[in-house]
Amino acid sequence: MKKGSKDNSFIKKPSYPGGMTAMKAFIGKHLKYPKEALKNKIEGTIHVNYIVNHKGKVIDAKNISHLGHGCDEEAIRVVKLLAFLVPDNPRRMKIQFNQKIRIHFNLPKKTIETPVKAKSEFSYSTVSALNRPQKKDTKQNKKPPYTYTISW
């Protein structure tokens, strides 16, 4: 008679539903470039430590590195929105998990377009898997799309 195989991991870590690509897409969708950082042309990376409780909610988030101009607060706000899946714990222990994430703030690059009328216009264009360029509307000026890169 063959014995059943044991699970080698004592404690299973929480995971984001859909994996890392879904987490990157969620952060890219909800992250907004702060107006003050845009005005002062601030770019950089913010490292955030966060704690996931036994229910899968982020209960605390702290910056390790700082950019200022509203970027730190925005990164923490978005990280606190995350919700994880925590597998059942057979030992019924309530465990908190510490995790780290890096969030990059990148300004869009200016490109010159062909003139629509006698004037030449500037527009922002970005290529990103998270934020697709918006359709151009000649009647009103829309805010340019921004790119965010999230890496672990």
List per-block mean pLDDT (blocks of 10 residues) for the chain, which spans 152 residues: 61 89 93 91 93 93 91 94 87 86 84 41 36 49 56 55
When divided into structural domains, the chain yields a total of 1
Query: Does 98 map to a domain?
Result: yes
pLDDT computed for residue 12 by the predictor: 81
Q: What single-letter amino acid sits at 150?
A: I
User: What residues have CB less than 8 Å from 33, skipping those under 6 apart?
Assistant: 74, 105, 146
CA dist 95 → 76, 79, 120, 126 (Å): 22, 19, 59, 41
pLDDT computed for residue 20 by the predictor: 92
> Residue 96 and residue 99: Cα distance in Å, rounded?
10
Query: Does 6 map to a domain?
Result: no
Query: Does 130 map to a domain?
Result: no
DSSP state, residue 138: S
Query: Does 103 map to a domain?
Result: yes
Look up the domain containing 43 and give its range. Answer: 19-108+146-151
pLDDT computed for residue 7 by the predictor: 60
Query: Does 28 map to a domain?
Result: yes
pLDDT computed for residue 22 by the predictor: 94
> Residue 47 and residue 103: Cα distance in Å, rounded?
7
pLDDT computed for residue 10 by the predictor: 72
Query: Does 94 map to a domain?
Result: yes
pLDDT computed for residue 83 by the predictor: 95
pLDDT computed for residue 127 by the predictor: 34
Domain harbouring 67, CATH code: 3.30.2420.10
